[in-house]
Structure 1
């Protein structure tokens, strides 16, 4: 876990501690009112400085300790030198964050390994790669649906550059490719459908069914869901006859988790489910078996 070192506020912490806690000003041990969280005793010498650490990066100080001022100054100078070597001003931490993000969103190196996997909620197999960078690190990359890579020959040993966004697959950090550069060739990774999938969860507030003007499209179930992350959304749960062993009315009040993508239905935007989890059971919404294509464009519903 990376620890953020609050060097710049160390002196201020000492002054605040002295102002609000006479024991600190007198060089006496400091103890928290909670016996389970004991603050470290301050050494008697005035050469020691109280330093706070943010262990989880949430902007709050999680613990304190005392460091000798010479050690603290040495650490501060070392940190400044590292920032200068990285081309980042120590007075502009925002640039450091941007540099870190840019580094994580682009990977250049040699392809060590390639394999295809089937991912939950995705139609096509995805091509995963392990890329060894110049400094010896291994980066895991999702190159996108394998079908999109036809005619773009990538083999182990090739040197490529991948641009994309950060994500996770099976709890492993992964770069999700949006563009691949290999030699003089460039491929924009097309994720026409599965790239927009997101996971949602919440409580079903109400359910209704709706027919469509196109009679070949079966009646479908729409639910209003109070999302755990806040807000209320409308979700197309799929054709009525494909609900998992329950009527639409039985869904009201149940907790639901679903994988979905946005689509415009009439003049409104709703989510279209691909996977449902209700009462501890997971169901795939098989739009192909329903005899219709996935609602992705504009579809008209009978009002």
Structure 2
């Protein structure tokens, strides 16, 4: 039930009616009593107002149900997903994995041991003795001759790759060294005209055309190569002028052996160091060959 504040006049009337012996005809007493009543009524009204205000006004400390507003928590940032493998590098990893495969490892290791025995007991002693008796200039002359005979193979390889600069250098070096260089014994083109040599073969031409290297192979005596490299060797041999001299198998074999010994004489210490420092000589030779060929192809 709602309480209302009583006015001062209403309280005055009620008090007059309730007062016994009050004479309505006595003006003076009425006025005196009225003035006192009005003053008292004002005080009473204020007390009632204060009392009602206290009753109706809620206490500050009054316990009540407090609704606590909770701010919605911001979603916690999830850590970015970390890829164990870079998906964009998958192609490179697949190519590397294919390169690392050695499908013919058993046969290759056996042939590597055979070639190593041939090298240790034949080529190394022969190359070492050859190096002691043949002066550096003499070995360089033979190197120039064998390199000059490779000009047709270099020209074909450079032309297939569309490299006009290398093709022009091959032709220039061959003409100058064959004539002014006494059949290729002297590198006049390089020393006098500063025409840089070209290191190209048919294997590199096939690689530039997109032909895969295939399996790694170790050939008897010839050493490390790939299935693509075998095809390259066949074409390079076919383009070598010595093939058409009609000298016969044994003469060609002697020429090839001389070239091999002459080349090995300049790398005896390097080969010994590689075999000595390698934990697995076969794997070291394989890795060295594949990396070297990859570098030559890129160049």
TM above 0.5, one fold? no
More strand by share: 1
The structure having more radius of gyration, on CA atoms, is 2
More helix by share: 2
TM-score category (smaller protein): under 0.3
Does 1 or 2 have the higher relative contact order (CA < 8 Å, sep 6+)?
2
